[in-house]
Amino acid sequence: MSNPILAPYPAARLRRLRKSAAMRALTTEVSLGVSNLIWPIFVTEIAGGEGEIASMPGVERLTLDGAKRAAEYAARMGIPSICVFPHSDPDQKTETCERAWDPDNIGNRAIRAIKEVAPELVVMTDIALDPYNANGHDGIVRDGVIVNDETVEALVKMALVQAESGADLLGPSDMMDGRIGAMRTALEAAGHTDVAILSYAAKFASGFYGPFRDAVGASGRLVGDKKTYQVNPSNREEALRCVARDLAEGADMVMVKPGMPYLDICREVKDRFGAPTYAYQVSGEYAMLEGAIRNGWLSRDVVAESLLAFRRAGCDGVLTYYAPYLAETLAQKG
């Protein structure tokens, strides 16, 4: 798209279109609505594990009942989707991660509980081994190496059990090679033809995930870092190759993560592939905004502004811990 040639000043006065609220409304290019939101929640199976997360003020780990209430709330407010993250019992984390595909793990119980009270919600999941892995990695570790193909087999089992539990949208966040194709094939074979995949396609090895790792109790455990599977923050071309690959393997939707520091990638993904594109405004972005807001350094208006940026960058939707806050704000505006 090219810009129209501007007449020289004073024929062109760009302030004419900013003169009144109505004129600004008329010339608004993109908007952010409640239908653009996916709300990530943390669900705990640990007695006393519920409550506020220190590095994410305002965000709580929920019990199963709390997750049900959140789902009812989302349905009432018009938030179309909830994404479930498990806070699992540390005593049951193992090197082989078998709880990841246990139908009764907390993630799968939460899916069923949410479907019970709000069947119309799109229930999204996380597929990665970290909540169930003794060493905090997304994949199986053998002799210090995160082994790809064996991890993919485990992830496929996880995907099938989540689909069986009633998930609508699977979110592989593990960044192993070949997992999307393997999951799609297995889902089709098992008759889960309508279960969609939102691939964490361009997921960068980011420092912005810190508070999330606190939230799911993975912080102290992680041995080393995730740089052998998540994308180098310097690499735009590589991120685009990841997206191309995941779409070719059968991803229905793709994600860029983190969000705000990677808006250039969002725009390029949308322009190049035209696929349903989502960004994850991750825990560290939330902590950064919320910390400044609570200190009085920023006004709460920056929340909507930060989310609007994703729409401007071409995203169809955003995973954000601010989903309930934004839903309230939009409802008040009418």
Q: Mind telling me the catalytic residues?
A: 203, 257
Is residue 283 at the binding interface for ligand PBG, with CB under 6 A as the rule?
Answer: yes
Q: How would you classify the pairing of strands 317-320 and 277-281? A: parallel
Is residue 202 at the binding interface for ligand PBG, with CB under 6 A as the rule?
Answer: no
For residue 201, count other CB atoms closer than 10 A to its CB.
31
> In the range 210-239, which residues lie near ligand PBG by CB under 6 A?
212-213, 226
Q: How far is the CB of 280 from ligand PBG (least distance, A)?
A: 6
CA nearest to 162, candidates 84, 54, 55 = 84
Q: How far is the CB of 138 from ligand PBG (least distance, A)?
A: 5
User: In this structure, what token pair is assigned to residue 315?
Assistant: 């995203």
Total H helices, total E strands in the chain: 11, 12
Q: How far is the CB of 16 from ligand PBG (least distance, A)?
A: 42
* Residue 126 or 290 having the CB closest to ligand PBG: 126
Q: How would you classify the pairing of strands 317-320 and 37-44? A: parallel
Q: Which stretch binds ligand PBG (CB under 6 A): 125-133, 234-242, 294-302, 308-316?
A: 125-133
- Runs of H (alpha helix) within 1-105: 21-26, 64-77
Among 202, 275, 282, 303, binds ligand PBG (CB under 6 A): 282
Q: How far is the CB of 174 from ligand PBG (least distance, A)?
A: 6
Q: Which stretch binds ligand PBG (CB under 6 A): 44-52, 67-75, 122-130, 269-277?
A: 122-130
Question: 113 with 68: CB under 8 angstroms?
Answer: yes
Is residue 173 at the binding interface for ligand PBG, with CB under 6 A as the rule?
Answer: yes
Is residue 132 at the binding interface for ligand PBG, with CB under 6 A as the rule?
Answer: no
Among 37, 53, 118, 128, binds ligand PBG (CB under 6 A): 128
- Compute the CA torsion angle 196, 201, 205, 210 (nearest 10 deg): -30
- Runs of H (alpha helix) within the chain: 21-26, 64-77, 106-117, 148-165, 179-189, 210-215, 236-248, 263-273, 283-294, 301-312, 323-333
> In the range 53-72, which residues lie near ligand PBG by CB under 6 A?
none
Q: How would you classify the pairing of strands 51-53 and 56-62? A: antiparallel
Q: How far is the CB of 276 from ligand PBG (least distance, A)?
A: 19
Task: Give the CA angle between residues 39, 93, 149 to the nearest 5°.
Answer: 80
Total site size for ligand PBG, rule CB under 6 A: 11
Is residue 130 at the binding interface for ligand PBG, with CB under 6 A as the rule?
Answer: yes
- Which chain residues interact with ligand PBG by CB under 6 A? 126, 128, 130, 138, 173, 209, 212-213, 226, 282-283
